[in-house]
Amino acid sequence: MSVAEEFTLDFARSERIGLEEAIFCAGKSPEQIDAILEAARARGASLLLTRLDPEKRDRLDAAARLDYCPVSRTAVFGEAPRITGPARVAVVAAGTSDVPVAREALRVLAYAGRAAALFADVGVAGLWRLTTRIEEIRAHPVVIVAAGMDAALPSVVGGLVAGAVIAVPTSVGYGVAAGGRAALDAVLASCAPGITVVNIDNGYGAACAALRLLHAAGRLAAETER
């Protein structure tokens, strides 16, 4: 079996569910990723790549053609849509260590042409950092919150904003934080009603959840105008 026979790209995904195909690079060899990018190039298609480590990126034939962000480990192959309109999503990071996950969410939103605003280092260990920016955060109908350790921030934000809150537990923390499992359990057990929870470190999934909400709101607005 050739490398090209090891994958089937889902170019119809955007028509079916409104979300573009993305390539999860962890576990894929540089040769497999290059073959995927060549298939996209042959169709004149763009692709979003996630979890692409710098070392693997440097081994790609297509490395020079990638818009790469080493912080989020994401890359864009080809042309992404131009970002238009006001920021409808706030991406909130509890600490600087949570920023890579937050930036993954931001990059996914940008790839979809959606503006978003980052609010970093506003964790509850210094609650004043959040309260001084809460009105800015409230201005966004969708809020993604990335937090590790005890992951208290999504619950606090969930009790302060009226918009949709998407919690991303991160793997940040010592010992019993258990690679993000304590944070995941905390947000699943949150006393703030209606919080959506995605998997540990899954900024990509959080952004996709936000996009689904925005798409649904857009369809509802269009139907109301008819």
Model pLDDT for residues 9-44, shown as the tens digit of each residue? 777 787 788 888 899 999 999 999 999 999 999 888
pLDDT recorded at residue 221: 75
CATH number of the CATH domain containing 147: 3.40.50.1970
Final residue belonging to a domain, choices 43, 62, 77: 77
Q: For the chain, what is the domain count? A: 2
What tokens were used for 164?
């949709």
For 16, the 3-state DSSP assignment is: helix
For position 2, what pLDDT does the model report?
54
pLDDT at 225: 73
Question: Domain boundary at 77, 102, 120, which?
Answer: 77
The number of helix segments (H) and strand segments (E) in the chain equals: 9, 9
Are 211 and 160 found together in one domain? yes
Strand ranges, E, within the chain: 22-24, 47-50, 66-69, 74-77, 84-93, 114-120, 142-147, 164-169, 196-197
Residue 222 belongs to a domain: no
pLDDT of residue 222: 75
pLDDT, residue 1, reads 45
Backbone angles phi, psi at 146, to 5 degrees: -105, 125
Query: Looking at residue 8, what is its pLDDT?
Result: 77
In a domain, residue 126? The reply is: yes
CA gap 161, 158 in Å, rounded: 6
Query: 129 and 175 share a domain?
Result: yes
Regions in the chain scoring below 70 on pLDDT: 1-5
Whether 208 is in a domain gets the answer yes
90 with 175, same domain: the answer is yes
Domain containing 136: what range? 84-217
pLDDT score, position 80: 81
Q: Report if residue 225 sits inside a domain.
A: no
Q: Are residues 43 and 124 in the same domain?
A: no
Whether residue 65 lies inside any domain: the answer is yes
- Per-residue pLDDT, 4: 54
Single residue among 27, 50, 77 that ends a domain in this structure:
77
Asked whether residue 226 is domain-assigned, the answer is: no
